[in-house]
A = this chain, B = another copy of it.
Amino acid sequence: MFYHVKELQYHAKPEKPDPLYAKKLQEILGGQFGEISVALQYLFQGWSVRGDGKYKDLLMDTGAEELAHIEMLATMIARLLDGAPVGDLEKAAKDPIIGAILGGMNPQHAIVSGLGALPADSVGNRWTADYIIASGNLLADFRANLNAESQGRLQAVRLYEEATDSGVKDMLSWLIARDTMHQNQWVAAIYELESKENIVVPSTFPKELEKREVSYALFNLSRGNESATGRWANGQSIDGQGTFQYVEQPVPFAPEPKLTPAPPYIHNTLPSILKDGTNLMPPSKY
């Protein structure tokens, strides 16, 4: 159950409006690695933990925080949109800044959301739950989380570089710091689980059931041997269970497949036509 207070976790106030930047900032609100993604990803993972304790609590702590970040970004974007220009391109075009804004702002910020934030990314794609991950295996999921915080901090940093407004930068410096913590925390949790299990997810699948002969082989399928010099091609495997090998000329292990013809009620191309292949085409009419 959730309680809301109307104060913000941190300031979200720009010096002045900037509709073009509002459009860009949508990326870390409603994009693939925006705050909606991490909030719902952590909450869904937490709700699915089949057991109690610190991992579940950590997920719920962080999920609740990300809701606050959605709120900060929604507030910032609404303020960046204050007084967004609409209207007469000819007049506006005399002022190149307004021209760029009219050409570049997200038109839905005026037409659809009435100067509010959208649950969408910087090009206007609506957020989708295709972005989120919750498998019930915490080592797998914490890796998803580490990736999300890595991509998210990278995007926030790039937006910082694109910003000139001190209020925007101030807020981003908060979000970037929180992403530093979140990367640290998921790495800590990952190390702990890896030390109890193994680095390979899931650790509970019996080794003898996999084809061990290719569990540590790098197949050189892109011509050139640069990858042969990497750690992944030499020495003990990272999981300590095998030895990396480099297969310079990988070959197929199975013959060309031949598929059985479909039954007549499927109405695929008839086997007789496929087999025969005689060219009955009449002379070109051109």
Contacts and interface: CB of A to CB of B under 8 A. Distances in A.
Interface string A182-225: 01110111011101111111101100011111111111111111
A211 B173 contact: yes
A17 to B, nearest CB: 9
A139 to B, nearest CB: 7
Interface residues of A, number: 210
B129 A255 contact: no
Contacts of A221: 2-4, 60-62, 64-65, 68
Interface string A120-154: 11111111111111111111100110110011011
Nearest to A264: B204
A183 B286 CA distance: 15
B107 A3 contact: no
Given A135-B154, A176-B210, A253-B8, A54 B238 contact: no
Given A126-B128, A150-B139, A187 B268 contact: no
Given A111-B155, A112-B122, A193-B269, 16 more contacts: A2-B221, A4-B222, A44-B117, A50-B271, A79-B260, A83-B263, A99-B103, A116-B134, A119-B129, A154-B201, A157-B205, A161-B265, A180-B210, A191-B284, A204-B267, A282-B285
19 contacts: A1-B67, A1-B252, A4-B222, A9-B253, A46-B222, A50-B260, A61-B220, A62-B221, A87-B162, A114-B158, A115-B268, A120-B129, A138-B269, A174-B211, A191-B231, A196-B278, A202-B267, A204-B270, A205-B267
